Amino acid sequence: MASNPFLDLADRQIAAPVQARRRAAETRTARRLAAETKVELDLFDDHERQLRRWRHWRQERLQQALAGPHGEALAKLLAQLRAPMSDAAMIEAARAWREADAGMRFLVLHLIDTVLIRRRERVGLPAFDDPLPGAPLNAFLVIRALLEDPDVAKPRRSTSKKRKRG
């Protein structure tokens, strides 16, 4: 390859200290980019580790629940969720868990939500698609409302008295 005579002239005319500063700046930039790439890889590895831990914790939680007092009913729910179900059938399956403790209701909601998400993704829809205000609630929101803590879900009345305007 023939070199560019203009670039050769420019290199000869630039003072050595200026060239050294440029090379140092290029080296610093290359080192910074390498360090940022390493940090990004470390963050990715940390994210993967956390995801594996969460999945392991979730599986342990499910195994504990299956071994607990609600184990038989939970196994039946898991079998139902493995088979194709309509939204109405999922809502009816969730109704049975209204009286369970908060942790079990949360686990059941999580299991049903996972099935709903996978079903939506399988047909090419976004995983989450909450309805607009005024539109009918989707299956997840209905089930969540069913499984909410009864004490929290009750509407609270205002204790303040309204003043009459005169």
Q: Could you state, in chain order, the average pLDDT of each consecutive group of 10 residues for the chain (166 residues)?
A: 76 80 86 76 81 92 93 92 90 90 92 92 89 90 86 48 51
Contacts of 145 (CB under 8 A, 6+ apart): 137, 153
- Note whether residue 77 is domain-resident: yes
The amino acid at 10: A
Query: Residues 81, 119: one domain?
Result: yes
Could you tell me the residue range of the domain that residue 84 belongs to?
71-152
Position 158 scores a pLDDT of 44
- Rounded Cα–Cα distance for residues 134 and 32 (Å): 52
Total of domains in the chain:
2
Position 35 scores a pLDDT of 76
- Rounded Cα–Cα distance for residues 102 and 104 (Å): 5
The amino acid at 27: T
Query: Residues 78, 122: one domain?
Result: yes
Query: Residues 44, 112: one domain?
Result: no
Position 160 scores a pLDDT of 47
Query: Residues 95, 61: one domain?
Result: no
Query: Residues 84, 62: one domain?
Result: no
- Note whether residue 81 is domain-resident: yes
Asked if residues 119 and 90 have their Cβ atoms less than 8 Å apart, the reply is: no
Query: Residues 124, 104: one domain?
Result: yes
Asked if residues 146 and 91 have their Cβ atoms less than 8 Å apart, the reply is: yes
